[in-house]
Amino acid sequence: MPAISIERQLLQDKATQLRIDSILSTTAAGSGHPTSCASCAEIISALFFSVMRYDPKNPRNPANDIFILSKGHAAPILYAAWAEAGLFPRADLLKLRTLGSNLEGHPTPRLPFVPVATGSLGQGLSAGLGMALAARLDQSPRRVYVLMGDGETAEGSVWEAAHVAPHYNLDNLCATIDINRLGQSEPTMDGHDLDSYRRRFEAFGWNAIPVDGHDLDALLDAYHLAAETRGRPTIVLARTLKGKGIPGEEDRNGFHGKPIPSDQAQKIVAQLEQSLNGHDPGWQPNLPPKYSPPEPKRSKIADPPYSPQSKPEATRRAFGDALAELGKANSLVVALDGDVKNSTYTEDFEKVAPERFFEMYIAEQNMVGAAMGLAAAGKIPFASTFACFFTRAADFLRMAAISGSNIKLVGTHAGISIGEDGPSQMGLEDLAMTTAQPDFAVLYPSDATSAWRAVELAVAVRGPVYIRTSRPKTPVLYGPNERFELGKAKVLRRGSRALVVAAGVTLFEALKAADELKDIAVVDLFSVQPVDVDTLRECADACGGRVITVEDHYLHGGIGDAVSTALKGPVQRLAVREIPRSGKPEELIEKFGISAKAIVNAVKNIGRE
Amino acid sequence: MPAISIERQLLQDKATQLRIDSILSTTAAGSGHPTSCASCAEIISALFFSVMRYDPKNPRNPANDIFILSKGHAAPILYAAWAEAGLFPRADLLKLRTLGSNLEGHPTPRLPFVPVATGSLGQGLSAGLGMALAARLDQSPRRVYVLMGDGETAEGSVWEAAHVAPHYNLDNLCATIDINRLGQSEPTMDGHDLDSYRRRFEAFGWNAIPVDGHDLDALLDAYHLAAETRGRPTIVLARTLKGKGIPGEEDRNGFHGKPIPSDQAQKIVAQLEQSLNGHDPGWQPNLPPKYSPPEPKRSKIADPPYSPQSKPEATRRAFGDALAELGKANSLVVALDGDVKNSTYTEDFEKVAPERFFEMYIAEQNMVGAAMGLAAAGKIPFASTFACFFTRAADFLRMAAISGSNIKLVGTHAGISIGEDGPSQMGLEDLAMTTAQPDFAVLYPSDATSAWRAVELAVAVRGPVYIRTSRPKTPVLYGPNERFELGKAKVLRRGSRALVVAAGVTLFEALKAADELKDIAVVDLFSVQPVDVDTLRECADACGGRVITVEDHYLHGGIGDAVSTALKGPVQRLAVREIPRSGKPEELIEKFGISAKAIVNAVKNIGRE
């Protein structure tokens, strides 16, 4: 027999074994998605046991090809593949979805072979794009493979990534769509119309290859063609049957996310085992070439160039300045923009490190998803846009938190203090969105010095960080030697009448109020999450528990809640309590009750209610 | 001269006047986007003064054609068009962006001719799709026109809508892209490559018509062709120049969002005025045909069919039951699904009212955006998916809040109590996301009866409503005659040792704790926003201010914060404080500290810290 045939028999056996393991593990768990695994068994087999070059004993080898399971509900077959490749014993698969096991219902980076958590559909391609950008930056031999479901291509984020990947000529990125025709609840919009998929991806600039997704030869040919294609990414459009190989469920609606009852599963597995060729010549991993990533330059950045004698400066401007410095000092830092670099000032980073600057255009989901991919590849990505537009990527932030992703997000133009542009441009829920996620560090600098230090801190902290910055220029409060730490607030005024906690533009309103009232304490919160419990408690105690928070943010989920949770005591909240509107910043600060005057009134009335 | 030529001169003059007004108003405001207006002056002129049928004195006439300015930063030209059409005096345009005026920086429905707020790019097409669905449902003669910028087509939400609109054969929908080549900070990915736009939209199933966007004849031809096209939507791809007609700024990068200095503006306006043909034969509006929307059936739904003697039922199931009843009782109610109708049970609505059920597939942004469009057309849309996946549409929720949109969102499968599927499927920040928005009503039913009543209430409340439901079956607490109100909690147990406030699955943990400890008060919060300050205060006072909240939600932004804000007093929060993992629901409830046992411990230790 010719060699190809033996390989094909081996791969077919592997596919069958993957099906068996997917069935057995989901049946053992009593939940999961065996039919969604069955449709991609040949795809996974081809990739894991022929196409991809990787060290199955070291999933974190930087030269490994990468596999991202965007259709995260097919987790059992991903786990089966790594068990089959020898990373852990097959018996572990039966612990699927149990509390003691990292083989969770959907993949998370608790497992060393999972770069980003998946399970919220339509995110994997963006992460793959980020990893492909990182690989090119590092001249890594790595190729990046992403497996999507067909249903998830309805998600717009897929088309954001589809638009950007050819723009960056990412020929090291190869996605596959497991076109099994059936969604969770009914057939997809496009069914088995492979030509519709082909037309769409080709129109977006991809090399599209339609194949029978159960034909291993066709799959291998497609992946080889993909590897040879220069200048653009490839999408393999694999026509498959949901539930392939599971009698009674193949290509039938109504079996999504349903494990097979135990007795039935045993019969099916016995049948599948009979179909094994048994021609196992001993699979040899296709190890990656020897490769060392470039030695990174990781210097510290200079101290901030501002002092209380400097002229007022916007925190967004200081962010841009610091990021540009960081670009020179640390070669791991990359920046991503959503077509607002002239407002966020990341254009300065682009000038000093153009090869590490990625214009992601007006597509915030993909921007954050790509940042997650870059972080998974060891980069330190700063993604920035207006604070309000990060809500566009809220689900990506959620998955970044689950992933423990080392992304740094900077929201500019927070709050009503942007003024005339009106409510659609005002980020008034960004603190609620980011502090809701455990493990997200949230910093809210008020002046240029602390903004600069926040950027520095973001690099020092491992995990997701959000920095909130403002549009207006504000006085510089701190000198270049002032130390800032995660979880540490700054006491600007001591007093006994009331404690006012603020950050950003409202801190200066608090200081104005303090100038008028003299005996109030003012704290610059700086670190919203984690919050400085000790300092807050000490200052609150000195003020007899009379605490006022004031913030350019909606009432819920911001500084008021953070301080209240920290103090476990009463807090009087000044915040934006209704949908704002266009106007001059100072008019709006007055109108929506977060001005010095409002603070003075609150202090005068506190405890009198 | 032939009639067409006179019309063209009139339309050219209107376009020139729109440019003049856009320049003058942004110069007066000292901010705004004149160059983004200038590129679409001919498009707006053609639509408003020739193509669209509408009553310029009554923008809310249900037979009017609809115009949605998706590129909301071009607001000044929208306002200029309505002034030119005679809705309000041109002099008002000079109040642009001032606090006293509704002519805000980006359009909001404070203006009667704005169906949905825009300004977060890439949302208008979804709203247009929703309005087109509503028009077809009501057999309205209305056509829906959406104007997008080219930069915003990078947003995935555009492609979600682009995918669904042809699927529903919406030939009453006509979008235009103002392809002016320049984004905010640099050229777009596609520049003036009209063919790339054409290929992509054709591949998605649209009738695509490339035109010179400054050629009125070509535009009129395109819109007439669009009106005659059956079975699919049309996209007019208009090649334009940013800053067209503004000397020195035409087709040049670096002039986004920059008003023209006053002296320069005067010169340019004088020049533009000279170019007016002055052939104004008196514009006559193209009034809509006589049309009355169908008389809606608006019956009340029956009382809930559950009682404390019923067997346990999931709140998501009761939601599905109630929605199906509502489908029969109220013909204004429509339902939208994200391919989870067999989990949310909206498949029951589909059975009773298939023509009012819209499968939106796995594309939550477009689902919510379409719901906003349906609401703007007078429908009462219920859009539902897993609670976690509404984060995908967080920016649409934000814009729905700004719009005061009458949408009803129902999140199912909230929290860790979904169990084995793992963190990616657990909605643990949905309360933070929704309560952050002022004017969002947020209901969190705990049993089948209250879930049914929540659905009823959602219809009664005008404005955005979010209902949080759970996956597990829970005992029925309330009989069919129990009354539920927005902003009203239920006191289930009275006591003096501590008050435990809960909702959803944790309410039953609280009741178990109360069975053990006897003298604790238990409140079913039900209405998270607005929150029942009086009841909470009364119960808290009875317990000496000892209050514990327990919730299947992350620590920040949920029930704990809502209760703390209401009480302005200390609250002990039991909530999920870290990224959870797969496991059995009851194991997770124990592990993450929101079980009866955790409540008992908290009660025993409260005040002892």
**ipTM higher than 0.95?**
yes
Rg (CA), chain B: 27
Per-residue model confidence as pLDDT tens digits over A317-357: 999 999 999 999 999 999 999 999 999 999 999 999 999 99
Write the burial class of residue A99 (CB in 10 Å: 0-12 exposed, 13-18 middle, 19+ buried): middle
Predicted confidence band of residue A529 (pLDDT cuts 50, 70, 90) = very high
Which tokens in the block code for residue B54?
A: 């509408």
Query: What integer pLDDT is reported at residue A137 of this predicted model?
Result: 98
CA-to-CA distance for B64 and B60, rounded, in angstroms?
A: 7
- What one-letter code names the amino acid at B395? D
CA atoms within 13 A of residue A386's CA, in its CB half-sphere: 28
Dihedrals φ, ψ of B175, to 5°? Answer: -105, 155
Which of chain B's residues have a Cβ under 8 Å away from the Cβ of A256?
342
Contacts of residue B171, defined as CB under 8 A and 6 or more positions apart, other chains included, come to B229, B230, B231, B232, B233, B234
Of A184, A188, A582, nearest to B104 by CB-CB distance is: A582
**pLDDT score of B281 more than 80:** no
Residue B495 touches partner A, C-beta closer than 8 Å? no
Q: What is the pLDDT of residue A572?
A: 95
| Residue A148 touches partner B, C-beta closer than 8 Å | no
User: Which tens digits make up the pLDDT trace of B470-507?
Assistant: 999 999 999 999 999 999 999 999 999 999 999 999 99
Plot region of B278 (φ>0 → left; ψ -120 to 50 → alpha; else → beta): left
**B367: Cβ contacts below 8 Å, ≥ 6 apart:** B336, B337, B338, B360, B383, B385, B393
First to last CA, chain A: 90
Disruptive mutation site among B392, B440, B574 for chain A (greatest number of A CBs within 10 Å): B392
For the segment B310-335, the average pLDDT, to the nearest whole number, is 98
Residue of A313, A364, A429, A551 with catalytic role = A364
Of A341, A362, A571, the CB nearest to B152: A362
Closest chain A C-alpha to B274 CA, distance in angstroms? 32
Compute the average pLDDT of residues A96-124.
98
Stated as kind and residue range, the H or E segment containing B515 is helix B505-517
DSSP code of residue B294: P
CA distance A444 to A501: 12
Hunting for tokens 């103002």 — which residue is that?
B178
What residues of A are in contact with residue B152 (Cβ under 8 Å)? 362
Output the pLDDT for position A604. Answer: 96
B158/A157 touch (CB, cutoff 8 Å), yes or no: no
Residue pair A260/A28 in contact by the 8 Å Cβ criterion: no
CA-nearest residue of chain A to B391? A395
- Distance, in Å, from the CA atom of A304 to the CA atom of A285, rounded to the nearest integer, reads 51
Whether the CB-CB separation of B431 and B491 falls below 8 Å is answered with no
Q: Could you tell me if A592 and A567 are in contact, meaning their C-beta atoms sit under 8 angstroms apart?
A: no
Q: Confidence class of residue A609 from pLDDT cuts 50, 70 and 90? A: low
Selected residue of B396, B429, B533, B591 to mutate for chain A interface (largest A Cβ count, 10 A): B429
Element (H, E) at B380: strand B380-386
The answer on pLDDT for A91 being more than 70 is yes
Distance of alpha carbon A558 from alpha carbon A433, whole angstroms: 9
**Which structure tokens are listed for A120?**
């919220």
Q: How far apart are CA A594 and CA A390, in angstroms?
A: 24
- The whole-number pLDDT of residue B239 equals 98
**Residue type at position A333:** V
DSSP A198-237: HHHHHHTT-EEEEEETT-HHHHHHHHHHHHH--SS-EEEE
Q: Do B184 and A343 touch (CB under 8 A)?
A: yes
Cα A208 to Cα A342: distance, rounded to the nearest angstrom: 36
List, for residues B35-88, the tens digit of each pLDDT value.
999 999 999 999 999 999 999 999 999 999 999 999 999 999 999 999 999 999
What mean pLDDT do residues B404-426 have? 98
Tell me the residues of chain B between 69 and 88 that have a Cβ less than 8 Å away from chain A: 72
Residue A129 CA to residue B537 CA, distance in Å, equals: 52
Å from B425 to nearest chain A CA? 7
CA separation for the pair B7, B286 (Å, rounded): 13
A341 CB neighbours in chain B (<8 A) are 185-186
CB of A195 within 8 Å of a chain B CB? The answer is: no
Query: Would you state the torsion angle of the CA atoms of residues B390, B393, B397, B398, taken in this order, to the nearest 10 degrees?
Result: 130
Nearest 5°: the CA angle A370, A530, A333 is 30
Query: Best interface-test mutation with A: which of B33, B386, B398 has the largest number of A CBs within 10 A?
Result: B398
Which residue, among B159, B188, B391, has the nearest Cα to A362 in the 3D structure?
A: B188
Q: Confirm if B442 and B466 have CB atoms less than 8 A apart.
A: yes
Q: Is 80 exceeded by the pLDDT of residue A2? A: no
- Give dist(CA A326, CA A333) in Å, integer: 7
Residues B524-542 have a mean pLDDT of 98
pLDDT tens sequence across B364-399: 999 999 999 999 999 999 999 999 999 999 999 999
Our CA dihedral for B266, B270, B275, B279, rounded to 10 degrees, sits at 110
Which chain A residues contact residue B439 at CB under 8 A? 578-579
Q: How far is it, in rounded angstroms, from Cα B432 to Cα A188?
A: 32
B183 CB neighbours in chain A (<8 A) are 339, 361-362
A–B CB contacts, 8 A cutoff, strictly below? 350
Burial class from Cβ neighbours inside 10 Å (0-12, 13-18, 19+) for residue A6 reads middle
Average pLDDT, chain A: 97
Let me know if B221 is exposed, middle or buried by CB neighbors in 10 A (0-12, 13-18, 19+).
middle
Q: State the pLDDT confidence band at B607, using cuts at 50, 70 and 90.
A: confident
In degrees rounded to 5, what are phi and psi of residue A176? -130, 140
Q: Residue A479: which of A501, A456, A450 has the closest Cα?
A: A450
Q: How far apart are CA B500 and CA B540, in angstroms?
A: 9
B185 and A579 within 8 Å at the Cβ level: the answer is: no
Residues A118, A97: Cα–Cα separation, whole Å: 15
**DSSP letter string over A93-127?**
GGGTT-TT-S--SS--TTSTT-SS---STT-HHHH
CB contact under 8 A, A421 and B31: yes
Is B364 tagged catalytic?
Answer: yes
> In Å, how far are A48, A163, B160, B203 from B200, measured between CA atoms?
33, 10, 13, 5
In this complex, is the C-beta atom of A94 within 8 Å of any C-beta atom belonging to chain B?
no
3-class secondary structure, A132: helix
Average pLDDT, chain B: 97
From the candidates B42, B249, B325, B364, give the one annotated as an active-site residue: B364
Q: Which is nearest to B368 in space by CA: B428, B427, B409?
A: B409
Q: Tens digits of per-residue pLDDT, A174-228?
A: 999 999 999 999 999 999 999 999 999 999 999 999 999 999 999 999 999 999 9
The percentage of residues in chain B with a pLDDT greater than 90, rounded to a whole number, is 96
pLDDT in tens, A273-324: 999 988 667 899 999 999 999 999 999 999 999 999 999 999 999 999 999 9
- Buried-state track B157-188, b at ≥16 Cβ within 10 A, e below 16: bbbbbbbbbbbbebbbbbbbbbbbbbbbbbeb
Per-residue pLDDT for B1 more than 70?
A: no
Q: How confident is the model over B541-565, as pLDDT tens digits?
A: 999 999 999 999 999 999 999 999 9
Of the candidates B108, B156, B554, the beta carbon closest to that of A363 is on: B156
Return the structure tokens found at A276: 């094994």
In the stretch 367-426 of chain B, residues with CB closer than 8 A to chain A read 388-389, 391-392, 394-395, 397-399, 401-402, 404, 419-425
The predicted structure's pLDDT at residue A505:
98
Percent of chain A with pLDDT over 70: 99
Tokens of A553: 């943010």
A607 pLDDT above the threshold of 90 = no
Q: Which of A97, A401, A399 is nearest to B582 (CA)?
A: A97
- Of B154, B200, B130, nearest to A337 (Cα)? B154
pLDDT band at A3 (very low <50, low <70, confident <90, very high): low
Question: CA-to-CA distance for B379 and B383, rounded, in angstroms?
Answer: 12
pLDDT at A277: 86
With CA atoms as reference, the chain A residue closest to B167 would be A189
Mean pLDDT of A530-544: 98
The SS3 of residue B385 is strand
Tens of pLDDT, residues A441-500: 999 999 999 999 999 999 999 999 999 999 999 999 999 999 999 999 999 999 999 999
* A36: enclosing H helix or E strand: helix A34-38
Give dist(CA B273, CA B23) in Å, integer: 12
Q: Rounded CA gap, B503 and B501, in Å?
A: 7
B579: nearest CB among A30, A402, A568: A402
Mean pLDDT over A573-581 rounds to 98
- Using alpha carbons, select from B456, B470, B508 the residue that is nearest to residue B314: B470
pTM higher than 0.95: yes
Of the candidates B352, B372, B431, the residue with the CA atom closest to the CA atom of residue B131: B372
CA distance B531 to chain A (A): 12
**Once rounded to an integer, what is the mean pLDDT over residues A542-555?**
97
What pLDDT band is residue A233 in, cutting at 50, 70 and 90? very high
Residues of A in contact with B72 (CB under 8 A): 424
How far apart, in whole angstroms, are the C-alpha atoms of residue B165 and residue A18? 38
User: What distance in Å separates the CA atoms of residue B333 and residue B379, rounded to the nearest whole number?
Assistant: 6
Q: What angle do CA A338, B366, B335 make, to 5 degrees?
A: 160
Residue ranges of E strands in A455-516: 465-468, 473-474, 490-493, 499-502
Q: Which A positions 419-438 lie with beta carbon below 8 A of chain B?
A: 419-425, 428-429, 432-433, 435-438
- Supply the pLDDT for residue A475: 98
How far apart are alpha carbons B3 and B9 in whole angstroms?
10
**pLDDT of A1:** 44
Give residue A279's pLDDT: 67
